[in-house]
Structure 1
Amino acid sequence: MAKQLLIYEQVMPISKQRHADLSVKTGTDYSFAKTINSVPLMAVEFPNAAAGYPIVFAGTETEIMPVVILGIDDDNLYITESGQWTDEYIPAFIRRYPFVFSTPNEEGKSSLCIDEEFSGCNQEGRGERLFDSQGEQTQYLQNILGFLQQYQAHFQRTRIFCQRLKEYNLLEHARARLTPPSGEQRSLSGFMRVNVERLKSLTDEQILTLVRTDELELIYLHLHSLRNLSVIAKRE
């Protein structure tokens, strides 16, 4: 469950001095994500993602986040050889590329950055410009900034959800045995899932908290999505 940030290669803060003539041409080619087997998922995405992906949890003792599993090895099984995404819903982590916020500095401020190695970056006017002829932000760049600000807000809400899962001791390490059409059994590990028996043993007060925060719904969407592990196996 690694390689989540390797789609970014040459990340630089966006500035009108450096990127005055830069245009960005995006499209339907997601080849940049072909070698990742999971990506982070925000809590707000659970209803859309649960239909086509297994939603699990991954991380360390100090930081746990939801992720969607995209493949067994270092291969995204939701992307065709020509770079087309095959599921109706594309995670926001993928849709925000080639843009990303930098890690907050000592003052808690982040900068909007771009991966300059993205194949759609150009100075020939293809796609959308970041700055107009007067050096002002274009509507396109403002829309991108707004999208990433929303992403950051959802990230904080998702962290609170995961902290509650840890506080209630609901997560357990898990392993899945998958049988692709080839018949060769494969194993997928390094992730966590909600333990249903622990969920049932919560106090009434804890359950009420999960209900009022809509987090109980998120838990059941996660559990329901695990059936998509068989979808992963069929895609292998």
Structure 2
Amino acid sequence: MTKQLLIYESAVPMSASRHGKLSLEVADYSFSASINAVPLMAVEFIRAATEYAIVFAEVRDDVLPAAVLGVRPDQNLFLSEDSRWQANYIPAFIRRYPFVFSATNERKIVTLCVEESHPGLNSEGRGQRLFNDDGKPSPYTEKVLKFLKEYQIHFERTRRFGRRLKELGLLEPMRAQVTTPKGETLTLGGFMAVPRKKLRALGGDALASLAKTDELELLYLHLYSMRNFKGVRDRLIDSPLSEDTEPENAGESAASVH
């Protein structure tokens, strides 16, 4: 499997014959060092909105939410120098690593896969066993399966939410721009947001429908989260790779981040 899903390089189906003697020890989050955004499920908005800027991105035919982690394409500003996560809430996409479901095109059959390049996989018994001695999934793997099944359910709900935003024409392209004192301009683009003006212009039926499915609350959490771009700026200032920066004002609309 070629590198896809941002942080996966060699995820393969789990089996007792191949992984029966392996254990997993998760020491840090260094695997996420080179990403500047991570997919976010709708159910995570209420926790994530207090710490991350939540934006939207087109992924093939879908529109999916994402938590912004940095300005440079290959820099995660939420990692400490010793690769610890520097936020109270860790997105589920990060927490599920090194496991992932692969699915057929019809999404009828899913297979649990594990990223074999994960440095924590070992045959010395460090951490959690993946299989029992009888070849059956360990209690740890059973918990992983339960977590990924719930993740998949929330992923489908999040896809429907993205489709609704497209149908209502609420999304606009956005970008965030930061200029350092030395004149270096860093631009974060390729994302979309929902401007307040479009939300205010919605008709009563559309608003009532969004409120009934709790999607209106998600949109207000998205708007609330945009203030966290300042936190990303502050993390960039404190980063060893950057000096003081002076971002432009985000304004009152999510889409007016320049």
Q: What TM-score range do you get, normalising by the shorter chain?
A: over 0.9
**Distance in 2 separating the partners of 1:179 and 1:220:** 29
In structure 1, the residue matched to 2:67 is: 68
**Are 1:38 and 2:37 matched, yes or no?**
yes
In structure 2, the residue matched to 1:88 is: 88
Secondary structure (helix, strand or coil) at the match of 2:83 reads coil
In structure 2, the CA distance between the partners of 1:222 and 1:21, relative to structure 1 (3 Å rule), is: same
Kept in 2: contact 1:19–1:131 (CA 8 A): yes
More displaced stretch, 219-228 vs 103-112: 103-112
Percent of aligned pairs sharing the same letter: 51
Aligned length in residues: 233
In structure 1, the residue matched to 2:202 is: 202
Instruction: Tell me the alpha carbon deviations over residues 111-136 of structure 1, each in whole angstroms, 9 at most, x when there is no partner.
Output: 00000110110011111111111111
Q: Deviation of residue 8 (structure 1)?
A: 1.1
In structure 2, the residue matched to 1:111 is: 111
Kept in 2: contact 1:180–1:233 (CA 8 A): no
**Distance in 1 separating the partners of 2:35 and 2:188:** 14
Ranked by relative contact order (alpha carbons within 8 Å, sequence separation 6 or more), the top structure is 1
- Dislocated runs of 4+, deviation >4 Å: 179-185
**Distance in 2 separating the partners of 1:111 and 1:26:** 22
Kept in 2: contact 1:38–1:69 (CA 8 A): yes
AA paired with 1:72?
A: V
**Distance in 1 separating the partners of 2:40 and 2:202:** 25
Secondary structure (helix, strand or coil) at the match of 2:110 reads coil
Q: Deviation of residue 195 (structure 1)?
A: 2.1
**Distance in 2 separating the partners of 1:132 and 1:32:** 27
Kept in 2: contact 1:179–1:233 (CA 8 A): no
**Distance in 2 separating the partners of 1:233 and 1:182:** 16
Task: Tell me the TM-score normalized by structure 1.
Answer: 0.93
**Distance in 1 separating the partners of 2:60 and 2:100:** 25
1:167-186 equivalence runs, <5 A: 167-179=167-179, 184-186=184-186
Q: Deviation of residue 26 (structure 1)?
A: 1.5
**Distance in 1 separating the partners of 2:185 and 2:125:** 49
AA paired with 1:98?
A: P
In structure 2, the CA distance between the partners of 1:68 and 1:4, relative to structure 1 (3 Å rule), is: farther
Secondary structure (helix, strand or coil) at the match of 2:175 reads strand
In structure 2, the CA distance between the partners of 1:4 and 1:41, relative to structure 1 (3 Å rule), is: farther
In structure 2, the residue matched to 1:160 is: 160
Secondary structure (helix, strand or coil) at the match of 1:229 reads helix
Q: Deviation of residue 103 (structure 1)?
A: 2.9
In structure 2, the residue matched to 1:228 is: 228
**Distance in 2 separating the partners of 1:51 and 1:202:** 26
**Distance in 2 separating the partners of 1:41 and 1:207:** 23
More displaced stretch, 111-120 vs 172-181: 172-181
| Unaligned segments of structure 2, at least 5 residues | 237-258
Secondary structure (helix, strand or coil) at the match of 1:126 reads coil
Instruction: Tell me the alpha carbon deviations over residues 171-210 of structure 1, each in whole angstroms, 9 at most, x when there is no partner.
Output: 0001122356877543221100002211111111110011
1:48-67 equivalence runs, <5 A: 48-60=47-59, 62-67=61-66
**Distance in 1 separating the partners of 2:131 and 2:208:** 49
**Distance in 2 separating the partners of 1:59 and 1:195:** 17
Kept in 2: contact 1:23–1:127 (CA 8 A): yes
1:211-226 equivalence runs, <5 A: 211-226=211-226
AA paired with 2:128?
A: E
In structure 2, the CA distance between the partners of 1:47 and 1:179, relative to structure 1 (3 Å rule), is: farther
**Are 1:131 and 2:131 matched, yes or no?**
yes
Kept in 2: contact 1:112–1:145 (CA 8 A): yes
**Distance in 2 separating the partners of 1:107 and 1:234:** 41
Kept in 2: contact 1:21–1:129 (CA 8 A): yes
Q: Deviation of residue 104 (structure 1)?
A: 2.2
